[in-house]
Each structure stands twice: as structure tokens, then as C-alpha cells.
Amino acid sequence: MDDYRQQELLDRIDEKTAELPWYVGEYVDKKRRTMSPRSLLNYCHDYLIFFNWLLTEGFYNGKRQDVPLSCLEKLTPQQIENFLSYLHFRLNNDRFTINRKLSSLKSLFNYLQNVAETSDLKPYLVRNVMAKIAFNKIKEDQETVAQKMAGKILWNDEYDAFRQFVAEDYCETVKDNKKLLNFHQQNAERDTAIISLILGSGLRLSEVVGLDLSDVDLKKRMVRVLRKGNKEQYVYFSEQAGLDLADYLDVRAKKYQLPPSNKALFVAASMGPHRTTRRLSPRAIENLVKKYAVAFGKPALSVHKLRHSFATRYQAENNDIPKLRRQLGHSSIQTTMIYTHLSNEELKKAVDHMDDHFVAPDGN
């Protein structure tokens, strides 16, 4: 991520913290040293949702920025449970998303109780209601998680077939719709490069979005990414991904009418009266993957499932969990271990082999 992109995220964080109480801004400033700007921006979004809810429910009559610490200290566990229900039933957040939002709130409240101090050395909060709230129980054994995932990823010949579909075959499905056909022809190299890069490297959505031209080394087939925890890492990509990236880079500036100052790797078509171009957003990449997935006949495919597809293929062909862990940027090897459960052909053969020894009761 270049300095411009980093500064852009930091500016957005400043915009969000200006809309939040002073003590939230203080906490965010403390976390800048240890958290990536993208993760910190997600925290800010979570806090905006929480404080908006406080005002809507009447816990404080005033501006969001003026919510006092005393308001947080008086919250009950049941009221927080009501907030979690609001996330689930009103905002349609799944259990994983709710746990993430709860985690960001727990971190803030812990800071206010156990880290921050007033001028007379007293904690900002004496009572921390978030310490009494449990996360949603969503843990499943790796075999169960793997089997749920298995039907939603690409297998065997589907890797190449899906890439081929994006590059060339999709246009056949929209040939009678001139608008869709023109749009695909405009973006075919870009979309193919995105799909091919994820399938050939296992990058996260945020990592793909944040890539700049200077982050790509076609000769070494590596990209520089900022991983979770604000750690910079060089990640390898496949030969096919390299070819597709090269094809895209050959047409990028001309097709998207880009000035030399635009350093984003993946960009959207120019829009507006000034014909300005912009970096592709996470939502835009999610939508383009969904569009191709539905047309391909695998509607459950997503950016994250493409990442899973890469990991499954890598593990099946290399059987090297430590290297896969590094490639994916997992902090825990247990997260990577799930891919050992996705393609257990020996177990399948053993079960099938049972039929060879089965003898019917009547001897036939």
C-alpha cells in the first residue's frame, strides 16, 4: 500500500472519529500504532452504529459526539443484548459479523476501564458492561466447517473453467444484451486478472483492493500486501495470474483513460462530468465475482470462497501447511488446518472399499 492510499484511509478515520465522542477518538489514536488503517476504519464504523443506536433508543438526548462516559457506565447486560438483537434482526448481521462488532466494542470498553486514566489516576469507566457479554457460540469442529465449505468452492477442472468463463465465455451469455456485452468487453482483462490473482494467490479482498502498481512484481510473480496486524508481506502468485495481470496492465491506462498520477492497480471505469476514475471498492469486486459466479452456475462463490479454493488446491497438491499458512497470512496454524479436511480422498476410498467386503445375510 503506497503512502497516498495509507493517507486516504487515515483521513477517513479522522472523519469518522470527528463524529464520535472524544474518548473514542483517544482510543483510536492509541490503536494507530498496532492496527492496520483498514481494520481501524472498520472499528470506527462499528462505533458509529453503536452510538447511533444509543441515541435512537433514548439513552442520551443530544449529539452523538457528546455522549458522556456515564451513559456507557449505566448500560445493563440486557440492553447490550438488545443491541446485539438489533444487529441481527434489523441490520441482518450474521453471527460472525456480530462477534466482530462485539469484539471492537469490548476492546474500546476495556481501554476505558483498564488503560485510560483521568488526571487524578482514576479509570474512565469503573463499571464495564461489555465484560459481562459473551460472544456468539459458532465454533464447529474443522471437519464440519470443511464440509460446509466444500460445496461452495471450486474443485479440479473448475478452477480453469471459471477463469476461462470470466475471460471469454461470459460474453456468450450476454450477447443479446448490448449494454452488458459492451460492459464486459470494457472490463474483461481487469476482471480476469482479479479472478486469476485471487485463485492464484489466495489474497484477501482487502488486500486485492489495496494493491497499487508499485506493489506488483511480474518477474518474480509477487505482490506486496499489508496483512492483518499492519504487517507488510510479499505473496507469490501463479504463472497464469501473472499472464492475466500482464494482459490487464497492457490495456489499463488506455481503456480507463488514466492519468499517470493514478497508482491503483484495479480501477473502475471513469464516471461523472469530469470523467474521473477511482480505485475499485470492496463492494465492486464482491459484485463482479457474484455476477460471474451466478452466470457460471456456482452462485455461492464469493471472493472469500475463491480464497478457499486456492488454499484447497494448494494443500491438495503440496501438502505443506506451514507454507500455506504464510501464503494466506494466517496468524494461527489451526485456521490453516481446516484445508486438511477438505479433500480427504483416502478416507473416501476407505469408505467405498467397505462395499467390497460386504456379504449379504443370505450369502448372495
Here the cell at position 193 is 486478472
Among 228, 263, 278, 326, the active-site one is: 228
Residue 339 designated active-site: yes
Among 163, 204, 305, 341, the active-site one is: 204
pLDDT tens-digit map of 244-295: 999 999 999 889 888 888 899 999 877 655 666 788 999 999 999 999 999 9
Note whether 131 and 109 are within 8 A (CB). yes
**What is the reported pLDDT for 321?**
84
Here the cell at position 267 is 480501477
pLDDT tens-digit map of 73-125: 999 999 999 999 999 999 999 888 898 899 999 999 999 999 999 999 999 99
Note whether 170 and 319 are within 8 A (CB). no
Amino acid of residue 158: E
143-344 placed in CATH 1.10.443.10: yes
Among 290, 304, 323, 326, the active-site one is: 304
**What is the reported pLDDT for 232?**
87
Note whether 307 and 154 are within 8 A (CB). no
Among 16, 307, 308, 325, the active-site one is: 307
Strands laid side by side in the 216-217 sheet: 216-217, 222-227, 231-236
In the chain, what are the domain boundaries? 3-139, 143-344
Here the cell at position 272 is 461523472
**What is the reported pLDDT for 245?**
97
CATH number for domain 3-139, candidates 1.25.10, 1.10.150, 2.30.130, 1.10.260: 1.10.150
In which residue are the cell numbers 452504529 written? Answer: 49
Phi, then psi, of 344 in degrees rounded to 5: -100, 75
Residue 307 designated active-site: yes
Residue 64 designated active-site: no
Percent of the chain with pLDDT over 90: 55
**What is the reported pLDDT for 341?**
56
* DSSP code at position 264: B
Helix 22-31 × helix 95-114 angle, to 10°: 100
Among 27, 111, 292, 339, the active-site one is: 339
pLDDT tens-digit map of 312-341: 888 878 878 888 888 888 877 777 776 665
Residue 100 designated active-site: no
pLDDT tens-digit map of 128-151: 999 999 887 655 544 444 445 555
Q: Which residues contact 215 (CB under 8 A, 6 or more apart)?
A: 1, 2, 223, 224, 225, 265
